[in-house]
């Protein structure tokens, strides 16, 4: 089905091309910036969200905050605007590549190194966001994009907090598989909620599935009540360090997780450094040791005759019943036999003959030693072929030069060489320069290790300090108190609070009296004051239901009074503040409920007209009896008295 937005132009600049995805709060399109002629992503909010002016204001503030987040591992927010219908839209950097969800579906379970190679850039982007006070709140594989050249970017910053405040249930249920316990409970939400989501992603990358499946309610319950298991329980072979990474990131108690993405990034980098180095492609030397073909007939005969020549690989005339594996076994059966002595044919000092492949079954010349060296590259007729090994400097590597030598002729080696040195050395010793470099690097590492030991043990800021009690102070005073106590690394986070005045410290992390090193960060949790709440409608509710609704809305129940009404008994007939008013969280709401009998004393109606007095009293639930003496013509009430629910009026 065609989307009616496709092909439209937003604010004379952005052409909507095609729909990419649709979520709970917005639809994402591929677009074109006509002014700069570049592809962009257009995220257009759903129409029902545009009707909420408070949501739109919050969303605009969040988008401006997200636009400040400039990092190579974050999808950039480029612009924002409104459609002709008034719907908010964001202009984002366009990433033409797969999501992490597609990578997991294609590759899972991922190796430890592949997992960390993808998670490290995610954590770099989140760490930058956390530094400037942004929390993503919706970290999941669908929001991790890969460019065509493999760069990793985190998407969907901006609007996350605004959407959460507008409809928390939609956000939580949409990402329930990655939601931290505090997102679905009553705990405060901070950077550690993003850390939890990254831990769940790591589990999924290592195992191919999330730790909990089922209905949304079942998954939410599992996140709140159960610990995430170790990935190695599902996929044996996951390194213990990655098990620990997942378990720390997904701790149910937020205080046991790394404090933010930067701390988790440090852990990920340390684990990646500890992994075995990736295997390099085979070198020429290692390639030459691989079996290339079976042994030739001479080699087989040598084995049966009790000879043990060194058998190299690559014969051009393989026997049908001998495989490359047999050739390898033959090489391992090498043994040296005494030769005729120094100066003998080909093998000095009792060195066994070396048989190089590339020869064929050819008669040995008369008088030649059958154990003489046959050099790589000869075939039937004695014509030279291409050598298996290249020419080498004999003084550097000790190898022989295979250039069509006949049996017993050796080129590029010394006739006085020790018989313990093989004629072909595939793994030459390191030259002295390499050894010197290794020694220098080792010395540098020792120097760095010594410096770090000094820094951690006796450098400024390494001494222990006790966190002072600063709750109730303003942020500036609290920071000065921490500095005076020897704590120089102070962070500030903010949250709403009903009880603490705006700008005052609610608590510290670590808590007061805790012992920390001077270089460790102590975070101040500062109050933003009470949150603002839009008062819902409570009229028509029963008194009990209205009390619960008031509390659920973050408000307090004020006075509850009764008044006579024709509505259902005990239902709310009025409220104060009125529905739709914007008030501080915790504001008291007064309720008036219906009663079927007069409440309190009747109002004084003396002096009113007869009709007005009757209307006033009957609206309060009273029965009215009128007494008018003969000749009355003013129709004014001159006196009143009540008996129970009846009021007697005297009218003149």
Q: How far is 208 from 202, CA to CA, in rounded Å?
A: 10
* 562 phi-psi bin (left φ>0, alpha ψ -120 to 50, beta other): beta
Query: Residue 3 catalytic?
Result: no
In which element (H, E) is residue 573 found? Answer: strand 572-576
Q: Which of 138, 164, 194, 298 is catalytic?
A: 138
Q: Pairing state of beta strands 572-576 and 588-595?
A: antiparallel
| Three-class SS state of 319 | coil
Helices (H) and strands (E) in the chain, counts: 19, 23
* Cα–Cα distance list, 215 to 110, 170, 177, 204, 493 (Å): 26, 15, 10, 18, 34
**Residues 261-264: contacts with CB within 8 Å, 24+ apart?**
261/123, 261/126, 261/127, 261/129, 261/130, 261/191, 261/194, 261/195, 261/198, 262/123, 262/127, 262/130, 262/131, 263/195, 264/123, 264/195, 264/198
Q: How far is 296 from 317, CA to CA, in rounded Å?
A: 6
**How big is the CA angle at 305 (ends 299 and 309), to the nearest 5 degrees?**
45
Alpha helix segments (H runs only) across 68-144: 100-107, 112-131
Q: How far is 218 from 475, CA to CA, in rounded Å?
A: 41
Give the closest residue to 575 by CA, choosing from 584, 201, 587, 207.
587
* 104 phi-psi bin (left φ>0, alpha ψ -120 to 50, beta other): alpha
CB burial string 244-259: b at 16+ within 10 A, e below: ebbbbbbbbebeebbb
Backbone phi, then psi, for 53, in 5-degree steps? -65, -35
Is the previous residue joined to 178 through a cis bond, with omega within 30 degrees of 0? Answer: no
* Cα–Cα distance list, 400 to 51, 291, 326, 382, 604 (Å): 86, 20, 25, 19, 128
Could you give the residue numbers annotated as active site? Answer: 138
């Amino acid at each position: 089905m065609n989307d009616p937005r496709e092909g439209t132009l937003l604010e004379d600049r952005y052409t909507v091309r095609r729909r990419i995805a649709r979520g709970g709060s917005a639809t994402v399109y591929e677009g074109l910036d006509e002014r700069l002629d570049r592809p962009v992503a257009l995220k257009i909010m759903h129409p029902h969200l545009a009707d909420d002016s408070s949501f739109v204001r919050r969303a605009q503030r969040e988008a401006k905050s997200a636009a400040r987040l400039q990092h190579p591992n974050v999808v950039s927010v480029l612009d924002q605007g409104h459609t002709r219908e008034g719907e908010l839209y964001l202009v984002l950097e366009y990433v033409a590549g797969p999501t992490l969800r597609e990578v997991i579906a294609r590759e899972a379970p991922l190796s430890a190194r592949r997992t960390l190679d993808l998670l490290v850039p995610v954590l770099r982007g989140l760490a930058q966001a956390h530094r400037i006070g942004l929390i993503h709140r919706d970290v999941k594989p669908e929001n991790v994009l890969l460019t065509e050249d493999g760069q990793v970017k985190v998407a969907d910053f901006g609007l996350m907090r605004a959407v959460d405040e507008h409809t928390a249930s939609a956000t939580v249920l949409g990402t329930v598989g990655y939601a931290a316990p505090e997102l679905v409970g009553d705990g405060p939400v901070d950077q550690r909620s993003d850390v939890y989501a990254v831990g769940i992603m790591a589990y999924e990358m290592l195992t191919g599935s999330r730790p909990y499946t089922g209905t949304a309610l079942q998954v939410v319950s599992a996140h709140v009540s159960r610990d995430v298991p170790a990935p190695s329980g599902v996929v044996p072979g996951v390194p213990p360090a990655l098990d620990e990474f997942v378990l720390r990131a997904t701790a149910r108690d937020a205080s046991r997780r790394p404090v933010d993405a930067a701390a988790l990034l440090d852990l990920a980098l340390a684990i990646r450094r500890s992994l075995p180095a990736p295997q390099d492609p085979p070198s020429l030397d290692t390639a030459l040791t691989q079996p290339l073909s079976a042994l030739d007939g001479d080699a087989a005969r040598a084995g049966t005759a009790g000879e043990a020549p060194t058998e190299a690989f690559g014969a051009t005339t393989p026997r049908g019943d001998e495989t490359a594996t047999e050739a390898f076994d033959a090489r391992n059966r090498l043994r040296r036999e005494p030769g005729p002595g120094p100066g003998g044919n080909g093998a000095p000092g009792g060195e066994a003959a070396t048989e190089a492949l590339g020869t064929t079954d050819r008669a040995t010349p008369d008088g030649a030693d059958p154990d003489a060296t046959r050099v790589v590259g000869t075939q039937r007729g004695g014509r030279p072929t291409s050598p298996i090994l290249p020419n080498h400097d004999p003084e550097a590597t000790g190898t022989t030069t295979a250039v069509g030598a006949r049996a017993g002729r050796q080129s590029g080696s010394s006739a006085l060489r020790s018989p313990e040195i093989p004629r072909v050395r595939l793994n030459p010793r390191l030259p002295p320069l390499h050894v010197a470099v290794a020694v220098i690097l080792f010395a540098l590492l020792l120097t760095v290790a010594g410096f770090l030991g000094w820094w951690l043990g006796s450098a400024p800021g390494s001494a222990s300090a006790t966190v002072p009690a600063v709750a109730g102070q303003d942020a500036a005073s609290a920071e000065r108190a921490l500095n005076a106590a020897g704590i120089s690394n102070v962070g500030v986070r903010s949250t709403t609070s009903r009880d603490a005045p705006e700008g005052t410290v609610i608590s510290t992390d670590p808590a007061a009296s805790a012992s920390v090193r001077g270089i460790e960060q102590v975070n101040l949790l500062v109050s933003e004051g009470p949150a603002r709440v839009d008062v819902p409608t409570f009229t028509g509710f029963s008194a009990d239901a209205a009390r619960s609704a008031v509390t659920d809305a973050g408000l307090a129940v004020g006075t509850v009074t009764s008044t006579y009404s024709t509505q259902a008994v005990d239902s709310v007939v009025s409220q104060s503040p009125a529905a739709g008013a914007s008030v501080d969280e915790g504001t008291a709401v007064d309720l008036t409920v219906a009663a079927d009998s007069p409440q309190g004393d009747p109002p004084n109606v003396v002096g009113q007209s007869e009709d007005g007095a009757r209307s006033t009293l009957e609206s309060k639930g009273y029965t009215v009896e009128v007494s008018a003496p003969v000749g009355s013509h003013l129709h004014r009430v001159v006196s009143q008295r009540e008996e129970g629910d009846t009021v007697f009026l005297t009218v003149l």
